């Protein structure tokens, strides 16, 4: 499974995780994890993931090159200076603006804690067996499965979500449109470097296993396999990382 490096500097690097690959071994004894690919890029074979990304999701994952940098970036991330925005395909016609402030479990067996997600509807398609929407979501807190759980709470579960979605809809979209994965992709990332306070980041095109089904549903994507005017939608999400 090919893994693209989106960025590398003296402190960190960012890998573009494909759907189906674990970030690191924990709940599953998979033969290969993203951290294995990350270690190949570092001197001495060490790599420290700073962010999580669900196995079924795709997109950028930030790694530190040393334990000291990992501690610094982890504190930086908790302070809000590392951000990812997501595209998701959800059931139904979503409102233009979504603000979900609903406590969820930090861990599956832990207590509920504060959690908030902001989102905007990007486009709606009249598909069979029902309407679906592409949304752009920004989690303001980092809880387990936060976007998936919040969208289920809002009665707009993600398509392709085997845990929080609808099995009948997942099967229908797999058979009709070839969507055989979780419809969640981190489309934008941005990090403020702790040493210089300068930004690094960028947009990440949808992988073909998600962009092609979306095109079959009638969604309009640009040459980078992203919804048109995505940057305009991202600019309307607040708070911004300044």
Helices then strands (H, E): number in the chain?
A: 6, 12
Helix residue ranges per DSSP H, 42-180: 67-78, 146-153, 167-177
Q: Which residue has the tokens 């790694």?
A: 63
Show the tokens assigned to 6. 């989106």
- CA–CA separation, 189 and 170 (whole Å): 28
Return the closest-CA partner of residue 163 out of 179, 184, 182. 182
Residues 105/144, Cβ–Cβ less than 8 Å = yes
**Is the Cα dihedral 232, 215, 138, 99 positive or negative?**
positive
22 φ, ψ to 5°?
-70, 150
SS in 3 state form for 180-235? CCCCEEEEEEEEECCCCCCEEEEECCCCHHHHHHHHHHCCCECCCCCECCHHHHHH
Residue of 10, 36, 54, 195 marked catalytic: 54
54 in active site: yes
Catalytic positions are: 54
């Amino acid at each position: 499974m090919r893994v693209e490096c989106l960025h590398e500097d003296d402190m960190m690097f960012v890998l573009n995780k494909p759907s189906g690959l674990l970030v690191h071994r924990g709940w599953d004894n998979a033969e290969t994890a993203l951290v294995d690919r990350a270690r190949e890029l570092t001197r001495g074979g060490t790599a420290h993931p700073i962010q999580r990304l669900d196995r079924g999701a795709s997109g950028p994952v930030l790694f530190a090159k040393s334990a000291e940098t990992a501690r610094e970036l982890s504190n930086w991330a908790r302070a809000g200076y590392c951000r990812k925005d997501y595209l998701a395909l959800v059931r139904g016609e979503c409102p233009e603006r979504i603000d979900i402030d609903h406590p969820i479990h930090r861990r599956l067996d832990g207590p509920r804690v504060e959690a908030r997600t902001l989102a905007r509807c990007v486009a709606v398609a009249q598909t069979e067996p029902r309407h679906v929407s592409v949304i752009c979501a920004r989690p303001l807190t980092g809880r387990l499965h936060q976007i998936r759980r919040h969208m289920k709470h809002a009665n707009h579960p993600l398509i392709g979500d085997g845990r929080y979605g609808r099995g009948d809809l997942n099967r229908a979209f797999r058979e009709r449109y070839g969507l055989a994965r979780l419809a969640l992709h981190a489309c934008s990332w941005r990090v403020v470097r702790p040493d210089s306070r300068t930004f690094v980041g960028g947009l990440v095109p949808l992988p073909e296993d998600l962009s092609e089904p979306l095109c079959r549903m009638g969604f309009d994507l640009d040459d980078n396999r992203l919804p048109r005017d995505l940057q305009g939608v991202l600019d309307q999400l607040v708070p911004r990382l300044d």
